[in-house]
């Protein structure tokens, strides 16, 4: 690792700029994720005829949570303390290497589809283990359900992005984004549309939105994701919340840039990055708004109907890949 770092420093004068760009992406996701959640909540409230909490409520709640006391259940091991940290740091690393604001490879040797999917899996595994640590009935139930949903949605995510990777002849995410920038005709190709549909299903499942999971339920038996985190309080809860919001922002940003790459900073330079940031915000906000609108008008699926939806997503992704291969 040190050797690689040394070569990085030696070969790329713009290392600082790169690190700066990835830090910007992390901060953007860190702040943007909770804002996107706030936006979705706002749209939901408006659709229900309420004013609803302000969009910044999520950030305000975070500020409050880190100042509160942390509570750990007796008999928990180090896992309970580590899980929120791992969730956040895996999401942050994902945000650093994914082309969100800039399509230049931020960290050479990391921005890979496979890496992003498995980093997300790392967060899920950490959260699931955290849910099991306190030994409560609902924590374990939530872990079991979340892993079941994840076991079907992660493959769908990988295969859906694979459809794009085959088209672009690389599994490197900036490579895919740059290739789609120079081939605008790809964006309407059938495999892209199918992959988009599959990805939307995955994003809904991964972020625990209706119809897969209901983030605002109070009934433990109906919970998936919420049940795992019933035990976290104060700063731990702040980490989990921000981690989850970051994953949402990240996935929405990924969908936005893979399918609508316009506006992303492809050349470098401060202004281009600013444009990239604004474009990212606008695109993710648009997708978040449509997800929220769908959410208001749908009912949550029964738990054992969820896998069918996800399997549908996986099949869509597989069809996307096949279409891509046939169309060559």
Partner 1 sequence: MSTAAYFIGLGAASAAALLGAVLPARRRLLAAAVLSAAACLAALVGAGDVLVSGHAFSVHTAQVLPLTGVDLSLDPLGALFVAATAVVGLAVSCYSVGYGVHATPSRIATATLPAFLATLLLVPAAASVATFMVAWELMALTSLLALLTDHRRRRETRDAAQWYAAMTHIGAAAILLGLVLLAAHAGGQSFAAIAAHRRQLSLPLTSVVFVLTLFGFASKAGAVPLHVWLPRAHPEAPSPVSALMSGAMVNLGVYGILRVGEDLLGGGEMWWWLVVAALGVVSAVFGALHAAASTDTKRLLAYSTVDNVGLVLIGVGAAGALAAGGQQALAGLVLLAALFHLVNHALFKGCLFLGAGALQHAAGTRDLDRLGGLARKMPATAIFFGAGALSISALPGLNGFASEWLLFEGLLQGFASRSAVTVAALLAGVATLAITGGLTATAFVKALGVGFLGQPRSEGAGAAREVGPSMLIGMGFLAGGCVVLGIVPGVVLPVIDRATTAGLVAGASRAIRPGLGLALASVHSEIDPGLLVGGLLVALVVAWGAVRLAPRSAELRSPRRAAAWGCGRDLQTARMEITATSFAEPLQRVFADVLRPDHDLEVTHTAESRYFPEAITFHQRVDDAVERVVYRPVMAAVAWWGHLARRVPNGSVHRYLAFGFATLVLVLVVLA
Partner 2 sequence: MQLRHVDAGSCNGCEIEIAQAFAPVCDAGRFGARLVASPRHADGLLVTGVVTKNMAVPLQMTFEATPRPRVVVACGDCAVNGGLFAGAYGVAGSVHDVVPVDVEIPGCPPEPSEITEALRRLTGR
Residue 190 binds partner 2, judged by CB under 8 A: no
Residue from 15, 27, 121, 220 in contact with partner 2 (CB under 8 A): 220
Residue 69 region by backbone torsions, left for phi larger than 0, else alpha for psi between -120 and 50, else beta: beta
53 belongs to the binding site for partner 2 (CB under 8 A): yes
140 by Cβ neighbours in 10 Å (0-12 / 13-18 / 19+) ranks as middle
Q: Could you tell me which of 177, 248, 189, 254 has the C-alpha nearest to residue 213?
A: 248
Q: How far is the CB of 92 from partner 1 (least distance, A)?
A: 4
Binding site partner of 12, from partner 2, partner 1, none, Cβ cut-off 5-8 A by kind: none
Buried b (16+ CB within 10 A) or exposed e, 150-165: bebbbbbbbbbbbbbb
- What residues between 254 and 273 interact with partner 2 by CB under 8 A? none
Distance, in Å, from the CA atom of 281 to the CA atom of 279, rounded to the nearest integer, reads 5
Nearest CB to partner 1, comparing residues 41 and 131: 131
Q: Report the nearest approach of partner 2 to the CB of residue 172 (Å).
A: 40
From CA 280, how far away is CA 175, in angstroms rounded? 18
Binds 272: which of partner 1, partner 2, none (CB < 5-8 Å by kind): none
Rounded distance, CA 71 to CA 162, Å?
42
Which of 140, 234, 268, 312 touches partner 2 by CB under 8 A? 234
Q: Residue 285's binding partner, choosing from partner 1, partner 2, none, with beta-carbon cut-off 5 to 8 A by kind?
A: none
Buried b (16+ CB within 10 A) or exposed e, 199-232: bbbbbbbbbbbbbbbbbebeeeeebbbbbbbebb
User: Is the separation of the CB atoms in 223 and 310 below 8 Å?
Assistant: no
Q: Could you tell me the smallest distance in angstroms from the CB atom of residue 131 to partner 1?
A: 8
Q: Which does 226 bind (CB under 5 to 8 A by kind): partner 2, partner 1, none?
A: partner 2
- The smaller minimum CB distance to partner 2, of residues 215 and 312, is found at 215
Q: Is 230 in the site for partner 2 (CB under 8 A)?
A: yes
Q: Which of 9, 16, 71, 278 binds partner 2 (CB under 8 A)?
A: 71
Shortest distance (Å) from residue 31 CB to partner 2: 18
Residues in the chain: 328
In degrees, rounded to 5, the angle at the alpha carbon of residue 173 between the alpha carbons of residues 5 and 306 is 125
Per CB under 8 A, residues contacting partner 2 are 45, 48-54, 57, 60-61, 64, 68-71, 217-220, 223, 226, 230-234, 237
């Amino acid at each position: 690792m040190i050797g690689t770092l040394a070569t990085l420093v030696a070969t790329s004068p713009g290392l600082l700029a790169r690190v700066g760009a990835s830090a910007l992406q992390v901060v953007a996701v860190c702040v943007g994720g909770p804002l996107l959640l706030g936006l979705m909540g706002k749209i939901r409230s408006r659709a229900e005829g309420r004013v609803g909490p302000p969009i910044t409520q999520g950030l305000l709640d975070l500020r409050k949570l880190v100042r509160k006391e942390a509570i750990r259940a007796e008999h928990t091991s180090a896992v309970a303390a580590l899980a929120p940290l791992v969730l956040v740091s895996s999401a942050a690393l994902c945000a650093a290497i994914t082309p969100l604001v800039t399509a230049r490879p931020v960290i050479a040797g990391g921005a890979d589809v496979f890496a992003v999917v498995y980093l997300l899996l790392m967060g899920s595994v950490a959260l699931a283990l955290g849910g099991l640590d306190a030994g409560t009935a609902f924590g374990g139930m939530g872990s079991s359900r979340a892993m079941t949903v994840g076991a079907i949605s992660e493959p769908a995510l990988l295969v859906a992005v694979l459809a794009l990777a085959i088209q672009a002849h690389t599994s490197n995410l900036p490579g895919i984004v740059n290739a789609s920038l120079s081939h605008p005709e790809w964006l309407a190709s059938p495999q892209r549309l199918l992959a988009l549909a599959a990805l939307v299903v995955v994003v809904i499942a991964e972020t625990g939105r209706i119809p897969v999971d209901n983030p605002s339920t109070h009934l433990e038996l109906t919970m998936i994701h919420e049940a795992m985190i019933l035990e976290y309080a104060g700063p731990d809860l702040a980490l989990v919340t921000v981690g989850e919001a970051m994953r949402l922002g990240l996935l929405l940003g990924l969908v936005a840039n893979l399918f609508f790459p316009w506006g992303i900073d492809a050349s470098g330079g401060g202004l281009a990055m600013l444009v990239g940031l604004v474009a990212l915000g606008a695109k993710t906000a648009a997708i978040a708004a449509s997800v929220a609108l769908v959410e208001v008008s749908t009912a949550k699926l029964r738990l054992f109907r969820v896998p069918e939806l996800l399997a549908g997503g996986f099949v869509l992704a597989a069809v996307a890949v096949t279409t891509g291969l046939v169309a060559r």
